[in-house]
Every structure is written in C-alpha cells, then in structure tokens.
C-alpha cells in the first residue's frame, strides 16, 4: 500500500495531468528511465509507482473510473461494448452518453473552476458544456465531418485546425497495414495533440489540464512483437526493434516542451496511465470452449472460422455465452432474466461457481491434446513449444520479460531482458492461469447489464476471441485483431507537487485515488461517494 | 419593486475578464458590431434561443456508430 503523507497540503493554483494510455511502468520507470530525462526529473522530485487499474484494465471504462473515482459497476460501464438490455443481440458502444457520474471537470465546473480536457475517452459526444475547453477522444467518429462537434466551444475547432491542420483523434491501425505508415501516423497524431495542449494552456485560463495521449497504447498494440523476444513472431535485429523505445523518448520530449510553458511553482504535475502493457501470446476461443464443455449449443455445427452470432444459438439448450475482447465476459442464460433462459435461479450460484472452477482449470496450449491448432501461419505444434507462459503461472508482475524491483528510489540501469531463448515451456496439462471475477463481488453496485463473470485469461497473456469452428480453443495470428500486446493490470502514476517533498517510489496506489488527490490539491471538497482516497492528507 | 422585476426593465452589468474584452474588441473590428456589448448581446441571445445547454448531441447516428465500431474492431477491443 502507498504510505500516505501526513502533511497538510497547501492548495495550489493549477494541476496538469499528462495521461498516457497504456504506459507500461517497467519500461518508463526502469528499463528506459535513463533515456527519459523529463520523466526522470519529475520522479526525482516527486512520488511515483505502479498503480492498480480497474477490473477490467481496459481504456473504457478505466479513464472514467479514474476521473470519477467510481468502479465500473457503479458507472454501469464494463467495456467498450456492453449489453444494451437482456436481449441476446442488443449491444451498445459506451460513449459519453453512458457516463452518468460526475467526472473531475464536471465537479470543477460546479465549483467555478476552469478545465482544459483533451482526448479523454468517453467525452464524445459533448453533452454538457464545461467551464473551459474540451476536445473529445478517439471514440469520436471523425474530425473531418463539419457536422461532428468534437470541441467545446464549437468554434474552437477552427482555431485548432488552423494550428495543426487535421486534428487526429486516433491513427488507423489496419491489420497487415504498412508498419512505417502506422508509426509515422502515431508520431503525427501525438505531436499535433501536444501542440494543441500547449496552445490552449498558453491562451486559456485553466485550473485543471487533463490530456490523454492514445499513441502510447497504439504503439504497444502495433509494435510489441518487434521489441519483445518473448513474442512468438519476434525477429532479432528487425527494423522496428526500437520503435516503442524511440516513441517513449518522443513523448518524454513533448512533456518536457510542455512543462517549459508551466509555472512549476504553482502547478502540480501528474503523469498517469490507465493500465500497463504486456506481451500477448494469442487468443482463446471462449465460445468454442463453452461449446466443447456443453454450456453453449449451436443450432448447427459451426463451419471453420464462423463468427459467433446470437441467431445461430439454440438458446433453449444454452447455459452461457461469451463476449470477446482483451478479456472475456461470460453471460449466463438465466431463466426469468434472459428471454429464453434455462439456468434456474436457484442453481445460478452453483452453476457460476462451477464455471469458474472449469475456466480456472483450463489447460494451456501445451497441455492441449490438439496441440494448439489455430488458423494462423504459425499455428503449428513447433511454434507452441516456446509459447511463453511464465507470467501466467508464477504471477510475475507485468511484462513477462522484465524484472520488477520493489525497492524505493530511482535506480540505475533498469531491468534487463531475459535471454532471447525464452522462458521454459508450460508443463503439459498445466492450467493457463485464468482468473474469474464476479462483478457483484468486486463492485460496489452493478448498474446496467453486467456480465456474470469477468475472465482474465493467462494473466492477460491471452485475449478472448469469439470465433467458432476450430478443434482447438487456441488461436494465433488472428487476422481480426492486433496481436502484439495486451493490457497489464498495473499502470503507473507520478506526481510532482510544488510544496510536497517527493517520496520516491510508492507502489500500491489505485486509479481511483487520482481524482480525490487532484481535488485536494486544488483545495476542493472531495465528494463522499468517491471510491478512492487522496494519496496525501 | 422587486429586484427580479427591475432586471426586466433595466440593463444589468455583466463582468468578463479584461483580456477577453480586449480580444472581442479586436474581433469585431470591421464588422457591423459597434461595441463589445452589442456583440455579446447578439451571441448570448443566439445561445439562449437554443432553450437549454445540455443534450446538444443526443446520440450517434448509425453511420457514426459503424465508424467507431470498425475502429474498435481493428484495435482488438471488440470483434
């Protein structure tokens, strides 16, 4: 746990937050710290460490959890796409319209404070004008269509476009796309966003600046295999081996350039990520597994690589189905709740516990009698021999190939890579290391339609895939999705305060602690229903 | 006469930052607005004509949802 400072903090005039989606603590605090002079300087005078993300550790809902200090259940937002109702095919993309709880800028607006909010997920569409300026996030459909309002006030759009040209909310990441084009796009997006941030900070009144840069997430998902010898597709000496490192250096440079515009005597500086990053080994076909287990029954045997579709399911015989993503959601077909529910309410908990037992006992691919299978070009038994599993089994924190040191203070050099030969193979039949969570047990309440189970596959080393029609439940090189990196449960935080002596490393914060701490720094009351605690009293 | 009634008949003074005033003054140069006050009244009447400030964007169109869905699919967040 974070040792909380006993000092009373004098309220300061401003707080600037650099949100870096998916920034991985082992990379920025350890491995590359010598190459990141601006982060290093903040760490030397501040407090920093690993920060536990929301469950699930996914951009949506994580940033809303952080800025509202409310868990996903309270927000009623469980991922990018949630069930709209209890129908089998009603889904909704979680935009700002789903966020009903006040976030930092809503609270500050009520207190007469000005905010600059740039790129924070779940801010589009703009429904409630704030005091200050807002530029919406990558969930904005496009900035090219004049009818789409991505700024507040609306006329800010013209000013931004005069400054940087097209404002990029995101960068296209087509599967199989030209990597150099993608990388160039990430750099352009980031530079333009930071240019806009600096412009707004210099031309508008503000008490809080909160920006989120998505490039850090995109570079992980697009380039992790080029960096990490533990990724099955890694080729030593490839031309993108340093792509993530070099991009971290660029982000650090952009932060430094922005800090030069800020009065550090009156402004607290934050750098935060919503979750970390780690190598992704492949996908688990969760609906295929449910079929094999007899929980899910299709009307007809699926054809190879058939997409899961509710209309193909024999609901009268189906007890559970899954929704895929970087983690898995399992929904139970409960009688009286779902339209054609079959699980008796009296058997619900027993059945759910049985599902957990089976999911957590799921054998890894080396223990799979079918030898892993999959559809990708590398989906052969030989490739599976070095499928890394260490992180899954011994719960080594974060990126499997990086050591994590708990010691306090900045240290030299950072952790090195393990040998390129990779970790030991998984013992035949050993479990993948899945972990299931009951939403009603981990959240304060469950609004909207929560999944019955949240499934973290192999310590996030595996993603959940929705395809059917394979002998094996494992899939590699899925052409439907980026396959380089997954999220890690712990992100990072760092704050440097003008009047607080930094305490160096202090792991154990949660992302729910960020909003109450910022409110305290701005001398504002902390709403009693916030679920985090200030990191200093 | 109550204070509320008096504001219906008379003009009131609004305070805005001097910096913003200067900026608005330079903005209206060469336009038909004779003063910052006249310009501010024009803009505020325009805003007030909308009736309310919230729910300016009631939702996403089907086309917008499809664009976002495709982006999330390419990023692996959904299938």
Alpha carbon of A329: minimum distance to chain B alpha carbons (Å): 11
Full set of structural domains in chain A with CATH: 14-74+101-279+488-521 (3.40.720.10), 282-389+425-483 (no CATH)
- A257 Cβ contact list (under 8 Å, min separation 6): A194, A198
- In this predicted structure, what is the pLDDT of residue B6? 56
The more confident residue out of B12 and A532 is A532
**pLDDT tens per residue across span A213-225:** 999 999 999 999 9
Alpha-helical segments (H) within A385-422? 390-394
- pLDDT higher than 80, residue A367: no
- Sorting pLDDT into bands at 50, 70 and 90, what band is B34? confident
Band of pLDDT at residue B7, cut at 50, 70 and 90:
low
Q: Is the pLDDT of residue A21 over 80?
A: yes
Q: Please check the confidence at residue B47 and state whether its pLDDT lies above 80.
A: no
The string of pLDDT tens digits covering residues A312-343 is 999 999 999 999 999 999 999 999 999 999 99
- From the list B17, B67, B77, the residue facing A141 with the nearest CB is B67
Q: Mutation test of the interface with chain B: which of A481, A482, A484, A485, choosing the one with the most B Cβ atoms within 10 A?
A: A481
Q: What is the mean predicted confidence (pLDDT) over A519-528?
A: 96
**Contact partners, residue B71, CB within 8 Å, separation at least 6:** A138, A170
Query: Of the candidates B59, B68, B76, which has its C-beta nearest A326's C-beta?
Result: B76
pTM to 2 decimal places: 0.83
For residue A467, give the DSSP letter.
E
The pLDDT value given to residue A476:
87
- Give the distance from CA B5 to its chain's centroid: 27
What angle (nearest 5°) sits at the alpha carbon of residue A402, between those of residues A396 and A404? 60
Q: Is B17 on the interface with A (CB under 8 A)?
A: yes
Q: What are the DSSP E strand ranges found in chain B?
A: none
Specify the pLDDT at position B38: 86
Residue A121: pLDDT band with limits 50, 70, 90: very high
pLDDT (mean) for A415-437: 61
A129 touches chain B (CB under 8 A): yes
pLDDT tens digits, one per residue of A126-159: 988 899 999 999 999 999 998 899 999 999 999 9
Mean pLDDT of A200-227: 97
Please list, residue by residue across A171-196, b when 16 or more beta carbons sit within 10 angstroms of its beta carbon and e when fewer do: bebeeeeeeeebbebbbbbbbbbbbb
pLDDT, position A405: 32
Output the CA angle A135-A52-A453, nearest 5 degrees.
Answer: 95
pLDDT of the residue at A400: 29
**Tens digit of each residue's pLDDT (9 = 90 or more) over A408-425:** 333 333 333 232 333 335
Across A480-501, average pLDDT: 89
pLDDT level of residue A390 (50, 70, 90 thresholds): very low
CA distance A354 to A295: 11
Give the residue-averaged pLDDT of B25-52. 81
Burial class (CB in 10 A: 0-12, 13-18, 19+), A422: buried
Residues of chain A in contact with residue B76, where contact means CB-CB under 8 angstroms, are 221, 325-326, 463, 480-483
Q: Judge whether A279 and A224 are in contact, CB under 8 Å.
A: yes
Determine, for residues B79 and A307 on separate chains, whether the beta-carbon distance falls below 8 Å: yes
Q: What is the pLDDT of residue B16?
A: 87
User: Which two three-digit tokens encode residue A249?
Assistant: 């250096």
- In the predicted model, what is the mean pLDDT of residues A195-209? 97
Angle (CA) A243-B71-A165 rounded to 5° is 70
Question: How many residue pairs bridge chain A and chain B with CB atoms within 8 Å of each other?
Answer: 82
Backbone angles phi, psi at A418, to 5 degrees: -75, 165
Q: How confident is the model at residue A106 (pLDDT cuts 50, 70, 90)?
A: very high
- Residue B39: the pLDDT is 86
Per-residue model confidence (pLDDT) at position B3: 55
Which of the two residues, A404 and A201, has the higher pLDDT score? A201
Q: Bridge partners of A209? A: A16, A116
- Beta-bridged to residue A468, according to DSSP, are A306
Summary mean pLDDT of chain A: 87
The token pair that represents B79 in the structure block: 């299938």
pLDDT mean over A460-488: 86
**A11 pLDDT higher than 80:** no
Q: Closest Cα of chain A to B60: distance in Å? A: 8
pLDDT surpasses 80 at B9: no
Q: What is the pLDDT of residues A248-298, one digit of tens each?
A: 999 999 999 999 999 999 999 999 999 999 999 999 999 999 999 999 999
Please indicate if any CB of chain A lies within 8 Å of the CB of B23. Answer: no
Query: What is the average per-residue pLDDT within A168-177?
Result: 88
User: What confidence tier does A371 reach under pLDDT thresholds 50, 70, 90?
Assistant: very low
Residue of A478 and A98 predicted with greater confidence: A98
Task: Inform me whether the pLDDT recorded for A307 exceeds 60.
Answer: yes
Q: Does B65 have pLDDT greater than 80?
A: yes
pLDDT class of B1 with cuts at 50, 70, 90: low
Whole-angstrom distance, CA of residue A213 vs CA of residue A138: 10
Provide mean pLDDT across the span B22-28: 88
Between positions 34 and 53 of B, the ones with CB within 8 A of A are 53
Specify the pLDDT at position A378.
Answer: 36
pLDDT at A6 (0 to 100): 40
In whole angstroms, give the CA distance from residue A171 to residue A519.
Answer: 33
DSSP A66-86: HHHT--HHHHT--SSEEESSS
By Cβ distance, the residue of B53, B60, B78 closest to A325 is: B78
A466 pLDDT higher than 90: no
Instruction: Say if residue A344's pLDDT is above 70.
Output: yes
Whether residue A126 and residue B56 make contact (CB cut-off 8 A), yes or no, is yes
DSSP tag of A267: E
Residue A373 predicted with pLDDT over 80: no
Q: Which residue has the higher pLDDT, B14 or A18?
A: A18
Whole-number Å distance between alpha carbons of A533 and A515: 9
* A80/B contact by beta carbon, under 8 A: yes
Reply yes or no on whether the pLDDT at A183 is more than 80.
yes
């Amino acid at each position: 746990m974070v040792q909380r400072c006993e000092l009373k903090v004098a309220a300061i005039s401003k707080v600037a937050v650099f949100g870096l989606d998916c920034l991985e603590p082992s990379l920025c605090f350890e491995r590359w710290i010598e190459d990141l002079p601006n982060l290093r300087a903040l760490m030397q005078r501040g407090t920093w460490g690993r920060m536990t993300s929301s469950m699930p550790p996914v951009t949506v809902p994580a940033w809303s959890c952080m800025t509202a200090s409310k868990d996903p259940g309270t927000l009623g937002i469980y991922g990018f796409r949630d069930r709209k109702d209890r129908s089998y095919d009603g889904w909704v993309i979680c935009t700002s319209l789903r966020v009903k709880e006040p976030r930092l800028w809503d609270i500050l607006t009520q207190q007469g404070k000005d905010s600059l909010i740039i790129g924070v997920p779940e801010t589009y569409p703009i429904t409630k004008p704030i005091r200050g300026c807002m530029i919406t996030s990558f969930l904005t459909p496009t900035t090219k269509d004049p009818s789409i309002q991505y700024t507040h006030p609306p006329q800010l759009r013209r000013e931004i476009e005069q400054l940087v040209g097209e404002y990029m909310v995101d960068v296209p990441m087509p599967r199989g796309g030209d990597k150099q084009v993608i990388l160039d796009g990430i750099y352009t997006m980031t530079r333009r966003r930071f240019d806009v941030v600096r412009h707004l900070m210099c031309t508008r009144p503000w008490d809080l600046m909160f920006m989120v840069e998505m490039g850090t997430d995109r570079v992980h998902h697009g380039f992790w295999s080029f960096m990490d010898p533990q990724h099955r597709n890694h080729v030593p000496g490839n031309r993108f081996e340093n792509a993530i490192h070099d991009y971290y250096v660029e982000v650090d440079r952009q932060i430094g350039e922005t800090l030069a515009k800020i009065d550090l005597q009156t402004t607290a500086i934050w750098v935060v990520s919503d979750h970390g990053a780690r190598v992704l080994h492949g996908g688990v076909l969760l609906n295929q597994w449910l079929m094999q287990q007899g929980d899910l029954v299709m009307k007809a045997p699926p054809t190879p690589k058939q997409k899961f579709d509710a209309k193909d399911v024999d609901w009268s015989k189906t007890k559970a189905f899954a929704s895929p993503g970087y983690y898995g959601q399992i929904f139970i077909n409960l009688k009286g709740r779902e339209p054609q529910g079959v699980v008796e309410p009296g058997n619900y908990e027993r059945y759910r516990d049985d599902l957990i037992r089976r999911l957590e006992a799921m054998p890894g691919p080396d223990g799979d009698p079918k030898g892993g299978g999959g559809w990708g070009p590398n989906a052969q038994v030989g490739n599976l021999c070095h499928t890394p599993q260490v992180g899954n089994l011994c719960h080594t924190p974060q990126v499997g190939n990086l050591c994590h040191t708990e010691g306090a203070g900045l240290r030299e050099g950072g952790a090195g890579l393990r040998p390129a030969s990779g970790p030991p193979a998984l013992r035949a039949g050993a479990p993948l290391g899945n972990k299931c969570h009951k939403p009603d047990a981990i959240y304060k309440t469950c609004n909207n339609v929560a999944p019955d189970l949240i499934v973290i596959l192999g310590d996030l080393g595996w993603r959940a895939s929705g395809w059917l029609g394979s002998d094996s439940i494992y899939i590699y090189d899925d052409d439907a999705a980026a396959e380089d990196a997954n999220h890690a449960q712990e992100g990072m935080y760092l704050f440097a305060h003008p009047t607080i002596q930094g305490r160096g490393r202090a792991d154990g914060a949660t992302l729910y602690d960020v909003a109450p701490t910022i409110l305290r720094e701005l001398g504002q009351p902390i709403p009693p229903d916030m679920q985090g605690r200030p990191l200093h009293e | 006469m109550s204070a509320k009634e008096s504001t219906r008949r008379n003009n009131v003074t609004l305070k805005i930052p001097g910096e913003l005033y200067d900026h608005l003054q330079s903005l209206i140069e060469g336009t038909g607005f004779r003063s910052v006050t006249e310009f501010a009244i024009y803009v505020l009447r325009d805003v007030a004509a909308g009736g309310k400030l919230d729910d300016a964007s009631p939702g996403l169109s089907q086309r917008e949802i499809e664009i976002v869905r495709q982006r999330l699919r390419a990023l692996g967040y959904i299938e």
